[in-house]
Amino acid sequence: MRRHRVLAAAGGGTVRALVEDALDAIDVDVDPRGDAGSSPGHVGHVYLLRRGTVRVTAVDDHEARCWYLVVESPDDGAGREVDDALAAVLPTRTFPELLDDAEQHPTEHAGAAVRRMALGAPDGADPRALRVLGELLTDPDVGLRTVGVEAATLTGWREAVPLLERVRDTDADHEMRRFAQVGLDLLASP
């Protein structure tokens, strides 16, 4: 089980405090061995919960211009319980809000709204979101098409496969075709 939650808060110290307060509020044991790490465009704070069965990562995504949580667990029940509890106490953005923003500003700030939409995507595909992705994947700007491939892959939706296949088969840029194949491979993996 893996879920993303886009937070409606800004500022690293504020977000970290909100997440820690939320974890206290839902009464879970936090493993003190959790670490903080970073990679290009991301800064993360990792919290290991319930003897390591649930992992919560708070990520500052500079490209998407937001903080989001990743809740992961090999135990679907425990993971969903923690995810639902965090969603109840944290200020999060709903998928309809993220989708509206992506429809209104798909290319602003190098596609940040589309990245946020993909991060907050529900389990089932949304036709409006697929349309936004399809439009971005045909944009003349290769950078925005790259965002489209990343976002289509992030959703995890099988319905995004035809969009990525079209990029893989027809895009003028060789690297975009290769990148679309990587996205297809990720969507095909369990």
Helix (H, G, I), strand (E, B) or coil at 35: coil
* Distance of alpha carbon 154 from alpha carbon 108, whole angstroms: 19
* Distance of alpha carbon 174 from alpha carbon 177, whole angstroms: 5
Return the pLDDT at 153: 96
Return the pLDDT at 176: 98
Return the pLDDT at 110: 80
Question: Angle at the Cα of 128 (from 3 to 112), degrees rounded to 5?
Answer: 60
Burial class (CB in 10 A: 0-12, 13-18, 19+), 35: exposed
Return the pLDDT at 5: 84
Helices (H) and strands (E) in the chain, counts: 8, 6
At a CB cut-off of 8 Å and minimum separation 6, what does 73 contact?
1, 53, 54, 55, 79, 82
What tens-digit pLDDT sequence spans the chain (190 residues)? 788 888 886 555 677 777 777 777 776 666 555 555 555 555 566 666 655 678 887 787 888 888 888 888 888 888 888 888 888 888 889 999 999 999 999 888 888 999 999 999 998 999 999 999 999 999 999 999 999 999 999 999 999 999 999 999 999 999 999 999 999 999 998 7
Q: Alpha carbon of 47 to those of 16, 53, 130: distances in Å? A: 11, 11, 33
Domains of the chain, CATH where assigned: 2-89 (3.30.160), 95-188 (1.25.10)
* Distance of alpha carbon 70 from alpha carbon 67, whole angstroms: 10
Q: Among 133, 120, 132, which Cα is nearest to 165's?
A: 133
Other beta carbons within 10 Å of 158: 10
> For the whole model, what pTM was predicted?
0.82
Query: 149, 167 in Cβ contact below 8 A?
Result: yes
Return the pLDDT at 187: 95
Return the pLDDT at 145: 97
* Distance of alpha carbon 177 from alpha carbon 154, whole angstroms: 17
Half-sphere exposure of 59 (CA within 13 A, CB side): 23
